[in-house]
């Protein structure tokens, strides 16, 4: 079930919005700019953008981030809403450390904004050198009549906080290639990569909708070639369905990603 705040749930009920009859269409969203870099103390903005030419009434999104690297300044409805001239009920909340929740819904039945364009934004400052994963915990989009699109894809990105005057800039960069072997695979594959220096390294698998499946590595690692293995299961040990998966590597001085195909 969708997890709504009390305020938005009550408002949608008053508007007579249907609970969840799927619109039966796939929606592609993205974080923009992807893998953005800011200096410690510098502020940045990350937008949630729709790539498709579709009619949209509501966005409802929860995003997770690393509070040791960045903090939240706030967020709000995107340019598609503000430029539409239509009254919009929207909000931004932080009910737990490391997550934020935002929503925007047009006030009135039969109304819509049309993509592509910005649906929501988040403002943040960098705190210290590091890499913060930006992951959509949950995201929902509704169409003109209030029914929810059946599938919304929003892949993760990162915010890189880096002081250009620090010694990190003189260190060897991350080899920007992740190699999967075999690929396609069933059900096991090896993820091979090379660290140019000792660093914290996080290697995470996401499904095609941007949902975290399992963390393969999250530790301080020595420089040099490394190998992690995935057996096609999630963090709870459940076998995953066939399809495309994203492998995202994050270190203190760079990120790399690749896609793999699990055959069933």
Q: How far apart are CA 17 and CA 8, in angstroms?
A: 11
Q: What is the pLDDT of residues 53-77, one digit of tens each?
A: 999 999 999 999 999 889 999 999 9
What's the full length of the chain, in residues?
264
Within the chain, which residue ranges are assigned CATH 2.60.40.4070? 171-262
Compute the average pLDDT of residues 105-111: 89
Within the chain, which residue ranges are assigned CATH 2.60.40.680? 6-161
Residue 30 structure tokens: 């993205």
Angle ∠(21,144,62) on CA atoms, nearest 5 = 70
**pLDDT band at 221; cut points 50, 70, 90:** confident
Under DSSP, is residue 182 helix (H, G, I), strand (E, B) or coil?
coil
**pLDDT band at 163; cut points 50, 70, 90:** confident
Q: How far apart are CA 63 and CA 56, in angstroms?
A: 20
Of 11 and 240, the structure prediction assigns the larger pLDDT to 240
**pLDDT band at 174; cut points 50, 70, 90:** low
CATH 2.60.40.680 is right for the domain spanning 6-161:
yes
- The pTM (predicted TM-score) of the whole model is 0.72
CATH architecture of 171-262: Sandwich (2.60)
């Amino acid at each position: 079930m969708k997890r709504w705040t009390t305020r938005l749930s009550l408002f949608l009920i008053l508007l007579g919005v249907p609970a969840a009859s799927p619109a039966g269409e796939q929606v592609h969203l993205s974080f923009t700019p992807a893998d953005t870099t800011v200096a410690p103390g510098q502020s940045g903005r990350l937008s949630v953008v729709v790539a498709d030419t579709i009619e949209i009434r509501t966005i409802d999104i929860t995003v997770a981030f690393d509070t040791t690297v960045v903090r939240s300044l706030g967020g709000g409805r995107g340019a598609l809403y503000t430029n539409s001239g239509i009254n919009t009920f929207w909000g931004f909340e932080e009910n737990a450390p490391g997550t934020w929740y935002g929503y925007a819904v047009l006030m009135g039945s039969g109304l819509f904004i049309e993509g592509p364009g910005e649906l929501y934004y988040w403002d943040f400052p960098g705190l210290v050198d590091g890499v913060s994963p930006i992951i959509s915990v949950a995201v929902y989009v509704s169409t003109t009549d209030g029914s929810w699109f059946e599938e919304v894809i929003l892949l993760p990105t990162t915010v890189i906080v880096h002081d250009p005057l620090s010694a990190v800039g003189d260190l060897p960069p991350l080899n920007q290639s992740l190699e999967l072997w075999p690929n396609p695979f069933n059900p096991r594959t090896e993820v091979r990569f090379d660290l140019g220096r000792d660093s914290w390294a996080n290697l995470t698998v996401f499904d095609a909708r941007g949902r975290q499946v399992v963390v393969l590595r999250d530790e301080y690692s020595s420089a040099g070639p490394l190998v992690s293995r995935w057996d096609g299961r999630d963090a709870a040990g459940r076998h995953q369905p066939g399809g495309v998966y994203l492998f995202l590597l994050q270190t203190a001085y760079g990120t790399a990603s690749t896609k793999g195909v699990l055959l069933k």
